[in-house]
Amino acid sequence: MAILTNREIWELIKNKKLVIEPFDENIVRENGLDLRIGEEYAFYSFENQVIDPTQIEDSKDFFNIVKAQDRKIIVKPNSFILLTTLEYVKFPENIVGFCNLRSTWARYGLSIPPTVIDAGFEGNITIELVNASKNYIVLKPGLRFLHVILVETKSEVKYLGKYLKQKGVTLPKGLKEEI
């Protein structure tokens, strides 16, 4: 397994093995992709409640999904939101993406949990974002925020999970069927 450089990434794009829509050449970086903030985001509908994912079949009652107002997404202090990427991606069956927040955003107090884009995945990427600061942070759709490191696997695999071909912010699945 090897981390791909921009040369290998450009080759995948040129050969249409890696599809990114809309595409902007500025998102291809030295050793990965910088995906941009989409227009849609989600936040909890309420606070200070007990949420047991093993008792949830559908989480739509727990979240509000909204569009950025005035091209701004304001992230409250000590809060959590779900963001989507502007880009819809289609990964080859032998490429995995490891997601990191661009360090510039982290320096403002934002963070994301470890996130993997599975080989063969197709869709917008939904990212969980935490504002650990005591400040309101303004995000703007179209800004680069998610650095994705691409790694080649030894063999091919097809992603068949629930989030395949997701568009916009996709809410978490309930875990009731897993207990």
What pTM was estimated for this model as a whole?
0.93
Mean pLDDT, range 110-129, rounded to an integer: 97
Q: How far is CA 148 from CA 49, 54, 171, 175, in A?
A: 33, 30, 21, 27
Within-domain flag for 90: yes
pLDDT higher than threshold 80 for residue 1 = no
Mean pLDDT, range 171-179, rounded to an integer: 85
Mean pLDDT, range 116-136, rounded to an integer: 97
Mean pLDDT, range 11-16, rounded to an integer: 98
* CATH number of domain containing 35: 2.70.40.10
53-103: pLDDT as tens digits: 998 888 888 899 999 989 999 999 999 999 999 999 999 999 999 999 999
Q: Active-site residue numbers?
A: 128
Residues of the domain holding 111: 2-44+55-174
Q: What is the pLDDT of residue 13?
A: 98
Q: What is the pLDDT of residue 47?
A: 85
Within-domain flag for 35: yes
Within-domain flag for 75: yes
Number of domains in the chain: 1
Within-domain flag for 36: yes
